[in-house]
A and B are shown apart, each in its own frame.
Chain A
Amino acid sequence: MDWGRVKFFLGEVLRNFTRNASMQATAIGTVAITIVLLGLFLFVRAALAGMGAHLLDQIEISAYLKADAAPAQVLAIRHFLTADPRIASVTFVPKKQGLAELRDRTKGVIDTALLTENPLPDKFRVKVHIPEEVPAVAAGIRRLDGIENVVYGQTIVARLLQLGVVLRRVGIGVIVVFLAVAGIIISNTIRLTVFARRREISIMQLVGATNLYIRIPFICEGLLDGLIGALLAVGILAIARATLWPRLLEALPWVQLNTSAISPAMLVAELFAVGGAVGIVASWISVGRHLRT
C-alpha cells in the first residue's frame, strides 16, 4: 500500500471540498432538505399503507343464509368454504348470536327489545388471507345454493385497494422528482467547482493525467455532498420522530397509524444510499461534460 499516494489523494479531495465551503454548504443544505422531504414522504406513505392494510385486515365477509336453507345445504356450504385455500377462517354465526352482537353494537341507539321476533338470518363469517381477493371470494360464495346475500363493505374495500395503487404510483412519481431535484442541485454545485478549477484541470490534462484520475476527486466531492446531506436529513428526521411524533399521535387518537412496518435502520440506509448515489451520478455527469470539450 502506497500511503503517500493515499494521503495525496485524500488531501486533494479535502482541499477541493473545503475551498468552496459556502458552495458546498448550499448544496449539502438543499440535498438535506430534499432528503428530509423524501424521508417524510416515505414515512407518511408507509403509515398510510399500514393504516390501509390494518383496515383491510379487519374486513370480513358475511354470507347470509336463506331462511329455508336445509341443514345439508348449510353443511355443503361450510365444506365449500373450508376447502377454499384463499379463506383463512370460517365461523358459523346462528341468528341468535347475530342478534346478540347487533344488540351490543347498537346499544342505546336501537332498542332491540322492541323486536317481537329475530329478523336476522343465520350467517357464515369468513376471513380471507389476502385483502385483494375479498371481492372474488365474495362473488364465489354468492353463487352457492342456500346463500341469500353476501356483504363485506364493498365500497370500503374498493377504496382501500384503490388507495394502495394510487399511493404506489404517486410515491414513485414523487421520489423521481425529489431525486431529480437533488441531482440537479449537486450537479450544478460540481459544475461550479469544476469551473472554478478549470485551470487546474487543464494543467492536469497537460501533464498527462487520465480523465478518470481528474474525475475521481469531483466524484468524491459529489458523494460527500450527498452523504453529508443525507446525514443532516437523518438527524432532522430523528429529532422530528422523537419530538413531534408523540404529539401527533396524541392529537389524532382516532388515526390508526401503524408504523411497525417501517424499519428505521432500513429507512436510514435507503436515505444514505439515495444521497450518495445522487451525488455520484450528478458529479459524474457534470465533470464528464467538461472533460469532453
Chain B
Amino acid sequence: MISLRNVSLIYPNGVHALDNVNLEIAKGEFVFLVGHSGTGKSSLLRLLYREARPTAGEIILDGIRVDRLRRQRVPALRRHLGVVFQDYKLLVDKTVWENVAFAMQVTGAHTRDVMRQVPRVLDLVGLSHKSRMYPGELSGGEQQRSAIARALVNNPKILLCDEPTGNLDPSNTSEIMELLLRINLKGTTVVVATHNQAVVDRMRRRVVRLENGRIVTDEERGYYYLGLGQGQILSG
C-alpha cells in the first residue's frame, strides 16, 4: 500500500530531513512512526501526502508514484488520503457538520452523497449530537474527532496522523487512539507519527523508529523504546 525506496529529503536550507529511508507498509496495517522531534516523522508524512517532494528515491502509494505525480494530479491523490494533525486544522467559523462536509464539497461532491456520508462519519467518531457546534465550543478531543471525521469522509484507503494526540490529555488521547484502531479494523491503513510513549506501549503495534532522518528499528508489536515497555524502564 505504501512503499518508500531509498528516499532522501534535503530541505532548501540544507537540513537533511530524511536519509535513504526504505519502508514498506501493507494494506490494513497500523504503524507508529516514533522518534524525537526533528527526526523526520512529519517530513516522511509530508512526502506521502505530497506536501513535499523527495530529493531522491521513489514513493509509491497504492500503485501511484507520488514523487513523480504532476501538480494537477495532487488533489486527486489527496482525496484518497485522510490527514490528521496535532492542531486539528478545523475552520473556526464553520460548524462540525460544515467542516466535515467541506472536505466533500470542495471536491465537487453531489449534495446527495454529502447528506449520506457526513452523518455516517460523524456517527463513527461519536459526534452526531454536536454536529451543529463550532470548533471553539468543543473540547480538544472532540475537535480532533471532528478532524478525523473530515479525514474519513471521502473514504480514504490511507489515514495519516501527525501527532494526533499531541495537544490532548490522557483520557482524550486513549479515546482518539481507540477511534483510530476502530478505523483500522474497518480496513483503512493507518500511519501515526507520535512521540507519546504511553500510547505506543499500550497499543503494541508495528513501531518504526526514526533517528536523524534514518530508520533505526522496525519492530512488529514494538515499544516506544527498543524492546522495552514503560514499566521496564521505570523499574530498571
Interface residues, chain A, CB within 8 Å of chain B? 2-5, 8, 15, 199-200, 202-211, 213-214
Bound-state CA distance A5–B114 (Å) is 10
12 A/B residue pairs, CB under 8 Å, sorted by A: A2-B111, A5-B110, A5-B111, A199-B91, A204-B102, A205-B74, A206-B78, A207-B79, A208-B79, A209-B107, A210-B75, A211-B75
Knowing A209-B75, A210-B75, say if A204 contacts B106 (CB, 8 Å).
yes
**Across the A-B interface, how many residue pairs have beta carbons closer than 8 Å?**
60
Contact A208 B107 (CB under 8 A): yes
B4 to chain A, nearest CB (A): 21
Q: Which of B103-138 contact A (CB under 8 A)?
A: 103, 105-108, 110-112, 114-115
Bound-state CA distance A17–B93 (Å) is 14
Bound-state CA distance A199–B88 (Å) is 12
Most buried by B among A3, A8, A200, A207: A207
Most buried by A among B72, B101, B102: B102
Knowing A5-B105, A8-B105, A200-B91, say if A207 contacts B154 (CB, 8 Å).
yes
Contact A208 B89 (CB under 8 A): no
A16 to chain B, nearest CB (A): 10
Contact B111 A208 (CB under 8 A): no
Chain B residue at smallest Cβ distance from A209 = B106
Bound-state CA distance A20–B115 (Å) is 30
Contact B111 A4 (CB under 8 A): yes
Instruction: For B154, list chain A residues within 8 Å (CB).
Output: 207-208
Contact B106 A207 (CB under 8 A): yes
The interface residues of chain B, by DSSP majority, are classed as helix
Instruction: For A209, list chain B residues within 8 Å (CB).
Output: 75, 106-107
Interface size class of B (residues with CB under 8 A): 20 to 34
Q: Does B97 contact A (CB under 8 A)?
A: no
Q: Does B203 contact A (CB under 8 A)?
A: no
A20 to chain B, nearest CB (A): 13
Nearest 3 Cβ contacts at the A-B interface: A4-B111, A209-B106, A208-B78
B11 to chain A, nearest CB (A): 15
Contact A207 B110 (CB under 8 A): no
Q: Does B77 contact A (CB under 8 A)?
A: yes
A193 to chain B, nearest CB (A): 14
